[in-house]
């Protein structure tokens, strides 16, 4: 539901509301039973579903990500296109990694297993070639300027921040951002 909420806010250009959800913490009472902080970041909403790994194995599905398959199947008829979910997942990855205190504190973008073959940027980043549009989305990404985004991409490149991968499939964040065209027109 969180992924869909962010996808809807991005699709409707409600970047301020998306940023509000990404910047705030959430109360999770069961953490008090484990001695953890009850106030958590949005990345807490992304839980690994071990049962899907067993389902993949038990049914001999040989899928790279049953979770991604389910998200794709369930998006049909919702009014939110799967591409919108992938775009939101990418934003959550960028923001989660930007704000992460360690490698376990980020967002795992299940749907992006399907975008490893994409060669162009997501819609909001295509629009962000305009400086004014980039200014609208950068708070949602948790950045103040394009240099911070370039620095994050450099951390992906040098391995300081681990990029998600699936089997032999790797993400190309610079392509999904259309990095070279961001903020290139007034």
Domain boundaries, the chain: 2-181
More confident residue, 30 or 116: 30
**pLDDT in the model for residue 54:** 55
Return the SS3 of 169.
strand
Return the structure tokens found at 109: 């973008």
**pTM, entire model:** 0.88
Model confidence pLDDT, tens digit, residues 70-90? 778 888 888 899 999 999 999
**Which residue from 89, 121, 71 is spatially nearest to 22, judged by alpha carbons?**
89
Q: Enter the tokens of residue 11.
A: 């699709």
**Joined tokens for residue 1:** 């539901």
How confident is the model over 92-100, as a mean pLDDT? 94
Mean pLDDT of the chain: 88
Reported confidence tier of residue 52, pLDDT bands at 50, 70, 90: low
User: Which segment of 10-19, 55-64, 142-151 scores lowest on mean pLDDT?
Assistant: 55-64
């Amino acid at each position: 539901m969180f992924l869909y909420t962010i996808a809807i806010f991005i699709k409707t250009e409600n970047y301020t509301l998306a940023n509000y959800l990404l910047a705030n913490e959430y109360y999770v009472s069961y953490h008090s039973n484990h001695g953890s902080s009850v106030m958590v970041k949005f990345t807490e909403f992304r839980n690994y579903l071990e049962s899907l790994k067993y389902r993949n194995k038990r049914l001999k599905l040989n899928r790279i990500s049953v979770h991604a398959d389910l998200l794709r199947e369930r998006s049909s008829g919702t009014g939110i296109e799967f591409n919108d979910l992938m775009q939101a997942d990418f934003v959550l990855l960028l923001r989660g990694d930007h704000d992460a205190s360690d490698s376990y504190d980020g967002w795992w973008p299940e749907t992006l297993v399907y975008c490893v073959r994409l060669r162009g940027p997501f819609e909001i980043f295509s629009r962000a070639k305009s400086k004014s549009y980039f200014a609208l989305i950068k708070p949602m990404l948790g950045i103040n300027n394009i240099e911070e985004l370039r620095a994050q991409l450099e951390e992906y490149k040098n391995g300081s921040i681990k990029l998600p991968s699936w089997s032999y499939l790797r993400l190309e964040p610079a392509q999904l951002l259309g990095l070279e065209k961001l903020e290139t027109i007034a």
